């Protein structure tokens, strides 16, 4: 009889594990994580990949964006930027802001980066202290109204519904899990061609980006092997 009870407990444990595992089946996700900035044809031999890990309500992320954007524009098709979100747990509104970006990206992907810039510009409104007495619902409402101004007013209802939709929650969780799985624990972090750029955590200025990217772009334009050895 005790054995039967044990078996019952074991079976129920296994079932619970299966259910839990089922809940986590969104890893790996069905597409690569991240918002691609002005997508261009990706050439494995020629494209420098920069990954920026941002929190939309983080001041250091905000400060690092203009010089990075300027550098990306300078290199044109040679550099591809992908932004990953890491909503930091100590920024109270980072998760809803990140979720808004996923919602808008799905509805009107041209508005993703404009909305990220909107958050950077207005992020003070969403810091912990000024939102201390506000309800979650009122913060979401504010974000929905602003996101609709950026993405197009025709999307207002769709953006609002997006916050009541498991898919946007799921995508934001995937962002979080992706960033943490890459060892990212603060923002901004930058990876260049898959390697962590040292000295992150503070804004990298335009000249610093030029110093990082110039040699990579230069090395790639050298096609003959002899010169390649020189660079290696």
Binding stretches for ligand NAG (CB under 6 A): 108, 110-111, 114, 130, 132-133, 150-152, 154, 164
Q: Shortest Cβ contact with ligand NAG: which residue?
A: 152
| CB 94, min distance to ligand NAG, A | 18
| CB 180, min distance to ligand NAG, A | 28
- CB-nearer residue toward ligand NAG: 94 or 150: 150
Cα(76)–Cα(123) distance, rounded to whole angstroms? 29
- CB-nearer residue toward ligand NAG: 143 or 184: 143
Taking each helix axis as running N to C, give the angle between helix 94-107 and helix 136-151, from 0 to 180 degrees, rounded to the nearest 10. 30
| Cβ atoms within 10 Å of 96's Cβ, excluding its own | 20
201: left (phi over 0), alpha (psi -120 to 50) or beta: left
Whether the Cβ atoms of residue 177 and residue 27 lie closer than 8 Å to each other: yes
| CB 132, min distance to ligand NAG, A | 5
Give the H/E segment covering residue 35.
strand 35-37
- CB-nearer residue toward ligand NAG: 61 or 108: 108
| CB 114, min distance to ligand NAG, A | 4
- CB-nearer residue toward ligand NAG: 134 or 196: 134
Cα(121)–Cα(114) distance, rounded to whole angstroms? 10
């Amino acid at each position: 009889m005790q054995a039967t009870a044990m078996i019952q407990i074991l079976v129920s444990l296994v079932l619970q594990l299966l259910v839990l595992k089922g809940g986590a089946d969104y890893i790996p996700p069905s597409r690569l994580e991240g918002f691609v900035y002005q997508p261009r044809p990706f050439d494995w031999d020629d494209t420098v990949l920069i990954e920026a890990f941002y929190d939309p309500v983080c001041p250091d992320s905000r400060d690092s964006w203009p010089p990075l954007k300027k550098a990306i524009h300078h290199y044109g098709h040679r550099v591809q930027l992908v932004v990953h979100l890491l909503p930091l747990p100590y920024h109270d509104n980072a998760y809803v802001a990140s979720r808004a970006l996923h919602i808008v990206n799905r509805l009107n992907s041209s508005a993703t980066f404009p909305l990220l810039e909107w958050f950077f510009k207005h992020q003070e409104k969403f810091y912990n202290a000024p939102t201390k007495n506000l309800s979650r619902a009122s913060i979401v409402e504010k974000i929905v109204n602003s996101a609709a101004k950026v993405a197009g007013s025709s999307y207002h209802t769709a953006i609002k519904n997006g916050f009541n939709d498991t898919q946007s929650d799921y995508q934001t969780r995937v962002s979080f899990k992706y960033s943490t799985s890459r060892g990212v624990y603060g923002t901004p972090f930058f990876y260049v061609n898959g390697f962590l750029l040292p000295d992150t955590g503070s804004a990298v200025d335009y000249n610093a980006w030029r110093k990082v990217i110039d040699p990579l772009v230069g090395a790639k334009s050298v096609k003959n092997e002899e010169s390649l050895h020189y660079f290696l």
